[in-house]
Structure 1
Amino acid sequence: MNCPIRTLDNGVRVVAAPLKERRSTAIGVWVHTGARDEDARTSGVSHFLEHVVFKGTKRRTAAEIKEGVEGLGGSLNAFTSEEYTCFLAKCTSRHFEKVFDVLADMVLNASLQEKDIRKERTVILEEIKMTQDQPSQWVDELVAELTWEGHALARPVAGSMQSVSGLTTDDIRSYKDAHYRSGFLTIAAAGAIGIESLLKEAARRFDRAKPGTRRPLDLFQNRQTAPRLKLCHKPVEQTHMALSIHALPHEHPDQYVLDLLSVILGGNMSSRLFCEVREKRGLAYEVGSSVRKYHETGAFGVDAGVDSRKAVESLKVILAELRKTAVRPVSEGELRRAKDFYLGQLDMGLENTMSQMLWVGESVVRLGRCRRPEEVARAVAKVRREDLRRVAAAVFQTRALNLAIVGPGVDRSQKAFRKALAF
């Protein structure tokens, strides 16, 4: 992958991933600010701002923004995470300049009118309610509260009903003014585009972005010394559990070891958790593992939707499978298959222009450089069986366990869950 990076005079970074024989271009305007940059009172403001940016600028109405992209056969979207916000579009190469102009106008010149903010508040409050109505999503928010207790990472990206209801127009405008500045911005594109063309178009639109750089992060300090448990009764047909264990940040030397461990434990239908919890014991329809990585911290997670009558048993089986990897090295065949799966998913995931743009954009925003797939492949190839056992033993510690459970009558089994929550 060739992804040259340039910087405008005002600090806006520009990165391109030219792809041969492509007729489309994906473009993203990345803003290096997200939910972790908010305080408790303004929780959700990054996500709120992402919504209202679409409502119009001095040059375009909300309808004209959408028509300016979709009317040319393109697509337009945005998302907010804990560490960044991204506004993205995809279009045929001949319409790139017009679509890029819409994105730039949105990000730099959003009107942020009181009437639009008032209407969008209702939409976001409904979004929060929808998450709370879906236990498989709500349980992930609950376990984040436990894992990063007392820190901004513990709060939902969308905010709470209370915080979103309290956000004022001035709050949103002030947040945009402080964070949508040149030192926060990265322009990424992939497809039928070269770095010089992208640099020229970016300079035309972003050379007047207000100067400004990020303030130092409020770093999370892990002070957890014992397992944490949160049980929420909800009259649903299935019990949903989310297990979270403090793990590794971005750029940690063992990050790919942990990724491969996640593949082996719960990354696919061949994984240990899927085979043991679902196929062998019939305890769950869905079970899987994942890894979260932030600037200075991270977590290894397991999510499962289980038979409510066998929730405690399911937890014991899950923890037992994790514990095995810390005691006995996996087989050579299991490690080989995990590597092939991991790299195969990476290769297939980078086949289109949008996925390439997301890869290079996130890489530059998070790491300040373009991480190449070849670099990942070399690191993965070096992982050995003993590395997996070593990292599992270091990460899978009882004191680092966090468990959230949502289901019918789970609060009545608190003692049993607490007893089972140990390696």
Structure 2
Amino acid sequence: MYRKTILNNGIRIVTEHIPYVQSISIGIWVKTGSRDEKREENGIAHFIEHMLFKGTKKRSALAIAKEIDSVGGVLNASTSREFTNFYAKVLAKDFKLAVDLLSDIFLNSLFSFSEIKREREVIFQEIKMVEDTPDEYVQDLFSQYFFSDHPLGQPILGNYNTIGKINRDKLIKFFHSYYLNPYRIIVSVAGNLNHYQVVEAINQTLGKIKPNNKKEPAWKPPEIFSGVKIFNKDLEQVHICIGTKGFSQTHPSRYAGYILNTILGGSISSRLFQEIREKRGLAYNIFSYNSPFQDTGILAIYVGTSRNKFNQVIELIIKEIQKLKTKPLKESELKKAKDQLKGNLLLSWENTDVRMSRMATGELYFGKYIPLKKIRDKIDQVTAKDVQTLSQELFQKKYLLLIALGGVKEKNIKPSLLEI
């Protein structure tokens, strides 16, 4: 059973009672991420995420780790471009401990000078790790060039220059301005719980945050950039990310978009995986993915291949895109994609983490809970024409960007490569 309560200070609490599980997943979700950062402070939201685990007025970093470990629980956080979340998963009997830990790190973190200095080095190592992982790094490069100077294009981790200049004053100022804002905060809890006990526990902790006049962010939509950009690096493979303007979190055709992605490259039975890996052996890893945001999105394809197969692989990808634009799906393929999506959804629904996250994102982007049945019904309502129309809308040359990382040069690329 789903319930929602809004505290006097504006914090929204959403819960789902699942009586047959032993656990509870709880998350503090804040509508703040790298999209809120100025260029000179890029990476500060992610830096703050790290610092909230480095000690409070009553717990050291080690004490925080030991306390959650002592009950076999999980305590973690993540930063994205549009939101940050701090979450815990524990047995139902340990719910109060989880609330105490989460509220303590959220309200009472010290941001000590020594921990900031140490954690800055950790983040430098994290940036290096991404740069040494080309299949991940090329996707970051794609976002940076696709959205160009817009905050959505900034790397979530920041860069060496900005992270090196972030100090304690900047961290605390950003945290107080963007995180301690009740209108941006959602507490989402799923599991074997009592809604009223959850509300009481949150009200006694986060309910003490003073309301302010700053409501939800007024983000400006980005301008999209297209073309080809090559990053020459001595690698065994060329890592490619080719993508276009995707659909937003609230786009009316988003369910057609989910099916489009599933058919194009969302699984091992998808068209791209079968054509490029299984049939021709041109790649080990190839997939497509959606990155929807509040007012825009990305629909992209990643593939890693050898240098001498670069043009052939791109041509095959464009050929599959053209098919989606010009030929309606067969009913059998459409049904398979729908069944796959609904099956994935139902399997994920057995996880309290997933249900907690879905409630939170529903509240973040729609201001309401979206029931499982409604999602399944919306998937079933998608037609072959819907998928074809969306393909024609999204896959246009004016939106298409290709990023390549590896030992390939622009002179080796066919001029007509991105003609669609």
Corresponding residue for residue 82 of structure 1 = 81
Q: Deviations over 1:292-326 (max 9, x none)?
A: 11011011110111122101110110011011100
Indicate conservation of the 8 Å contact 1:234/1:406, yes or no.
yes
Q: Kindly state the Cα deviation for residue 357 of structure 1 after the two structures are TM-superposed.
A: 1.1
2:370 and 2:136 map into 1 onto residues whose CA distance is 30
2:276 and 2:51 map into 1 onto residues whose CA distance is 43
1:142 and 1:229 map into 2 onto residues whose CA distance is 12
1:57-136 equivalent positions in 2, closer than 5 A: 57-136=56-135
Paired residue secondary structure (1:284): coil
Corresponding residue for residue 183 of structure 2 = 183
Give the unaligned 5+ runs of structure 1. none
Q: TM-score, with normalisation over the residues of structure 2? A: 0.97
Corresponding residue for residue 143 of structure 1 = 142
Corresponding residue for residue 413 of structure 2 = 416
Q: Kindly state the Cα deviation for residue 43 of structure 1 after the two structures are TM-superposed.
A: 0.4
Seen in structure 2, the aligned counterparts of structure 1 residues 360 and 216 have a Cα distance that, compared at 3 Å, is closer
Seen in structure 2, the aligned counterparts of structure 1 residues 216 and 417 have a Cα distance that, compared at 3 Å, is farther
Confirm whether residue 5 of structure 1 aligns to residue 4 of structure 2.
yes
Seen in structure 2, the aligned counterparts of structure 1 residues 175 and 418 have a Cα distance that, compared at 3 Å, is farther
Indicate conservation of the 8 Å contact 1:230/1:405, yes or no.
yes
1:215 and 1:187 map into 2 onto residues whose CA distance is 16
Corresponding residue for residue 361 of structure 1 = 360
Q: Kindly state the Cα deviation for residue 282 of structure 1 after the two structures are TM-superposed.
A: 1.3
Q: Deviations over 1:240-283 (max 9, x none)?
A: 10112012111111001011001011111111101111111211
2:80 counterpart letter in structure 1 = S
1:114 and 1:375 map into 2 onto residues whose CA distance is 49
2:124 and 2:411 map into 1 onto residues whose CA distance is 31
1:151-162 equivalent positions in 2, closer than 5 A: 151-162=150-161
1:44 and 1:214 map into 2 onto residues whose CA distance is 23
Indicate conservation of the 8 Å contact 1:272/1:321, yes or no.
yes
User: Where does structure 1 differ by over 4 angstroms across 4 or more consecutive aligned residues?
Assistant: none
State percent identity of aligned pairs.
31
1:18 and 1:123 map into 2 onto residues whose CA distance is 38
Corresponding residue for residue 199 of structure 1 = 199
2:229 and 2:245 map into 1 onto residues whose CA distance is 16
Paired residue secondary structure (2:2): coil
Q: Kindly state the Cα deviation for residue 352 of structure 1 after the two structures are TM-superposed.
A: 1.5
Indicate conservation of the 8 Å contact 2:16/2:190, yes or no.
yes
2:67 counterpart letter in structure 1 = G
1:12-411 equivalent positions in 2, closer than 5 A: 12-181=11-180, 182-212=182-212, 213-214=214-215, 216-222=217-223, 224=225, 227-408=226-407, 410=408
Q: Deviations over 1:346-370 (max 9, x none)?
A: 1111212112111112221232211
1:360 and 1:370 map into 2 onto residues whose CA distance is 6
1:375 and 1:422 map into 2 onto residues whose CA distance is 38
Seen in structure 2, the aligned counterparts of structure 1 residues 317 and 93 have a Cα distance that, compared at 3 Å, is same
Indicate conservation of the 8 Å contact 1:146/1:228, yes or no.
no
Paired residue secondary structure (1:311): helix
2:413 counterpart letter in structure 1 = A
1:18 and 1:245 map into 2 onto residues whose CA distance is 40
Seen in structure 2, the aligned counterparts of structure 1 residues 68 and 414 have a Cα distance that, compared at 3 Å, is farther
Q: Kindly state the Cα deviation for residue 214 of structure 1 after the two structures are TM-superposed.
A: 3.5
Q: Deviations over 1:218-241 (max 9, x none)?
A: 3124354xx322111121211110
2:57 and 2:136 map into 1 onto residues whose CA distance is 37
Indicate conservation of the 8 Å contact 2:19/2:193, yes or no.
no
Indicate conservation of the 8 Å contact 1:148/1:220, yes or no.
no
1:286 and 1:210 map into 2 onto residues whose CA distance is 49
Paired residue secondary structure (1:4): strand
1:422 counterpart letter in structure 2 = E
1:179 counterpart letter in structure 2 = Y
Paired residue secondary structure (2:284): strand
Indicate conservation of the 8 Å contact 2:224/2:399, yes or no.
no
1:185 counterpart letter in structure 2 = I
1:109 and 1:323 map into 2 onto residues whose CA distance is 55
Give the unaligned 5+ runs of structure 2. none
Q: Kindly state the Cα deviation for residue 207 of structure 1 after the two structures are TM-superposed.
A: 1.5
Paired residue secondary structure (2:345): helix
Paired residue secondary structure (1:387): helix
1:25 and 1:417 map into 2 onto residues whose CA distance is 54
Seen in structure 2, the aligned counterparts of structure 1 residues 223 and 153 have a Cα distance that, compared at 3 Å, is closer
1:360 and 1:414 map into 2 onto residues whose CA distance is 49
Q: Kindly state the Cα deviation for residue 30 of structure 1 after the two structures are TM-superposed.
A: 0.9
Indicate conservation of the 8 Å contact 2:283/2:305, yes or no.
yes
2:54 counterpart letter in structure 1 = K
Seen in structure 2, the aligned counterparts of structure 1 residues 142 and 223 have a Cα distance that, compared at 3 Å, is closer
Q: TM-score, with normalisation over the residues of structure 1? A: 0.96
2:189 and 2:307 map into 1 onto residues whose CA distance is 47
1:418 and 1:295 map into 2 onto residues whose CA distance is 34
Indicate conservation of the 8 Å contact 1:108/1:180, yes or no.
no
Seen in structure 2, the aligned counterparts of structure 1 residues 167 and 417 have a Cα distance that, compared at 3 Å, is farther
Q: Kindly state the Cα deviation for residue 10 of structure 1 after the two structures are TM-superposed.
A: 0.2
1:265 counterpart letter in structure 2 = L
1:46 and 1:149 map into 2 onto residues whose CA distance is 20
1:159 and 1:221 map into 2 onto residues whose CA distance is 19
2:273 and 2:122 map into 1 onto residues whose CA distance is 37
